[in-house]
Amino acid sequence: MRPLVAHIDLAAITHNYALARQCAPGRQALAVVKADAYGHGLEPVVAALSDADGFAVACLEEAERVRRVASQARLLLLEGCFAVAEYQRAAELGVDVVLHSAEQAEGLLASVLPAPLRVWLKLDSGMHRLGFDEAALRHWHARLQAASQVSELNLISHFACADERGNSLTELQLERFLDVLDLPFAQRSLANSAAVLMIPAAHMDWLRPGIMLYGASPFAELSAGELGLRPAMSLRAEVIALREVQAGETVGYGGSWQATHDARIATVSCGYADGYPRHAPSGTPVWLQGQRVPLAGRVSMDMLCVDVGVLPSVQLGSEVELWGQRLPVDEVARAAGTLGYELLTRVTARVPRRY
């Protein structure tokens, strides 16, 4: 077997979920498990979070998968239905739906459903991606309040910049959310991970922690460890080849890395087809034998190379961690100019998850 495994620590995920709830005593939390639980595997994560107050996903296909593991749990469709026909299935599955547009709302009102739905009206409080402005939200609240398709009318919105502490847009978004609370909503939800951790005024009734559950930080300047989060995924490979390279020789495609001194190069069984970022530059840290060693040259499809000059004891079969318990995913993401979110969700299907 190819030595590359994503080890998933489910206890870390339940720890991180408990931490989210501790941030907001008395509130409930929808564990966000979209995108295959941010790459960790939807079914095992939902099963591990069997005591969670509920779950949130991006589409009905994901909701179907959650339902097979958690038949009763509260379950929210974050983008609502993509076609009118989906309301039928949403009602059968007993999922809550977001309504973010007039088209979605009209589609719901035109549906004949086996059971009424819990509806979350989405306020566009300033992100300008999805949702109603205040006037439209008030209009649809009035139209939906007595609709036979609706069993509960709730309010939801999403922050654009909560990961940047002190960003003035966050303040403005919170104000716009508070401005519509004169309307009678059964439940309210505003906080993603960053707001769960840093903005108590945004906690409302239902938290929506995503990235923090998986032990990565939503903040550039605060590490997951400092926040008390435990990393859930450790992506581990092995050294499959070793060689000495003389000063002046190059390594990898394009010969983009050149040895400035005689170097020892280890080839590692992980590449961009596994989800390791191809754009990670030379120098990106890789964990090997208790140390960070630098990536050397371009990442290949199935392999990458590191300069292990500093570690004479590296052998064939030595364990390598691309990110995880010993090397925070956020550190690798920063070096590669991306986010922990992207690295975690992009680990491809050919990498076995071991729980």
Which residues contact ligand PLP (rule: CB under 6 A)?
A: 32, 34, 78, 158, 192-193, 208-211, 218
Q: How far is the CB of 177 from ligand PLP (least distance, A)?
A: 13
Cβ-in-10-Å burial (0-12, 13-18, 19+) of 26 comes to: exposed
* SS3 annotation, 223-245: CCCCCCCCCCEEEEEEEEEEEEE
Nearer to ligand PLP, 17 or 272 (CB): 17
Q: How far is the CB of 86 from ligand PLP (least distance, A)?
A: 18
253 tagged catalytic: yes
Nearer to ligand PLP, 92 or 226 (CB): 226
Residue for token digits 């941010």?
Answer: 38
Q: How far is the CB of 66 from ligand PLP (least distance, A)?
A: 15
Nearer to ligand PLP, 78 or 322 (CB): 78
CB-based closest residue to ligand PLP: 210
Interatomic CA distance for residues 119 and 125, integer angstroms: 18
Q: Across the chain, where does the E strand assignment appear?
A: 4-8, 28-32, 54-57, 74-77, 96-99, 117-122, 150-156, 188-189, 206-207, 233-245, 250-251, 257-258, 263-268, 285-288, 291-294, 304-307, 319-323, 353-354
Nearer to ligand PLP, 208 or 236 (CB): 208
Nearer to ligand PLP, 98 or 251 (CB): 98
Interatomic CA distance for residues 130 and 119, integer angstroms: 15
State the catalytic residue, choosing from 34, 87, 214, 272: 34
Q: How far is the CB of 174 from ligand PLP (least distance, A)?
A: 15
State the catalytic residue, choosing from 17, 38, 214, 253: 253
Q: How far is the CB of 189 from ligand PLP (least distance, A)?
A: 8
Interatomic CA distance for residues 172 and 323, integer angstroms: 36
* Catalytic center residues: 34, 253
